[in-house]
Amino acid sequence: MEDAEVRTLLEKTSRTFALAIPLLPPPLAREVGIAYLLFRIADTLEDADLWHRDARIAALHDFERWLDGGGDLRIDPPPTKNAGYMNLLARAGAVRAAASDVAKKHVKRTAHGMAEFVARQDDEGRIVLTDLADLRAYCYFVAGIVGEMLTELFGAAPALSEDGKLFGEGLQLVNILKDAPADAREGRVYLPPSVPRAEIMQLARDDLRVAERYVAALRADAKTIAFCTLPLRLATATLDRLEAGAPKLSRDEAMAIFADVTSSLR
């Protein structure tokens, strides 16, 4: 798989990470980019809006086996109308062939956890998380594992893995808080009704402070630091807006943060 194709697939399936991953030095940018694409395949199977619940569960379990080289990745009928995601699924074999063992190991864990949460949905895909522990378990499977994987790919001290996990949790909590109204309209209630919204926002804030500590402790080159700093800055700015009840970040504001983060690299 050529680097140009990896970049194109990222651009068609991501926003933030299509900006952040190219900041990394080679060959790390390629390794992380391919790992992201594997995680995006898992996300696509979890969210497959054109499939019923049992089909999504089966697809995620098949995906685990497929990552080890067994079986097929079934995408017929198509799980989504999103052209970018379908293009990625069509190239899944090439992505798997290019992926590192580290990436496949962690993506398998994510797919397994996703299947557990999909199994709790009703036939229409509705789910309500019950408490804070439930929310944090979900965030771990879909984002905390990513933080653990990146810590390993960075060659960082294993002691940083816990902070990497909370970094991922913080980013996911901000996304859940930001998208809560749209998710609720589709029957997905990730903010447990028994937990005050302010408590979840404080947890996200605490996690982002841990993320700052993680970046400060990461012994890495300037490009890797920029890669970590960009989503942290965007999440912090978004959380500030949510706490103030203000509109979400505009694209121009996000690009201004990107320009600021990358200014030292020019």
What is the distance between the alpha carbons of residues 203 and 192, in angstroms, rounded to a whole number?
14
Say what the pTM is: 0.96
Q: How confident is the model at residue 97 (pLDDT cuts 50, 70, 90)?
A: very high
Domain boundaries, given as residue ranges, for the chain: 1-123, 126-266
What is the distance between the alpha carbons of residues 74 and 252, in angstroms, rounded to a whole number?
39
pLDDT score recorded for residue 83 = 97
126-177: pLDDT as tens digits: 999 999 999 999 999 999 999 999 999 999 999 999 999 999 999 999 999 9
pLDDT score recorded for residue 15 = 86
Do 142 and 206 meet the contact criterion of CB atoms below 8 Å apart?
no
Q: Is 1-123 a CATH 3.40.50.10710 domain?
A: no
Do 173 and 204 meet the contact criterion of CB atoms below 8 Å apart?
yes
Which DSSP helix (H) or strand (E) runs through 185? helix 161-185
Residue 125: closest CA among 201, 54, 194: 54
The whole-number average pLDDT for the span 214-227 is: 96
Do 10 and 33 meet the contact criterion of CB atoms below 8 Å apart?
yes
Q: How confident is the model at residue 74 (pLDDT cuts 50, 70, 90)?
A: confident
User: With 80 as the cut, is the pLDDT of residue 266 above it?
Assistant: no
Q: How confident is the model at residue 183 (pLDDT cuts 50, 70, 90)?
A: very high
Q: pLDDT over 70 for what percent of the chain? A: 100
Residue type, 163: D
Q: Which CATH number fits domain 126-266: 1.10.600.10, 1.25.40.80, 3.20.20.70, 1.10.8.50?
A: 1.10.600.10
Which DSSP helix (H) or strand (E) runs through 118? helix 101-118
Which DSSP helix (H) or strand (E) runs through 69? none
Q: How confident is the model at residue 207 (pLDDT cuts 50, 70, 90)?
A: very high
Domains 1-123 and 126-266 share a fold: yes
User: With 90 as the cut, is the pLDDT of residue 199 above it?
Assistant: yes
User: With 90 as the cut, is the pLDDT of residue 230 above it?
Assistant: yes
Instruction: Compute the C-alpha angle 167/168/172, nearest 5°.
Output: 120
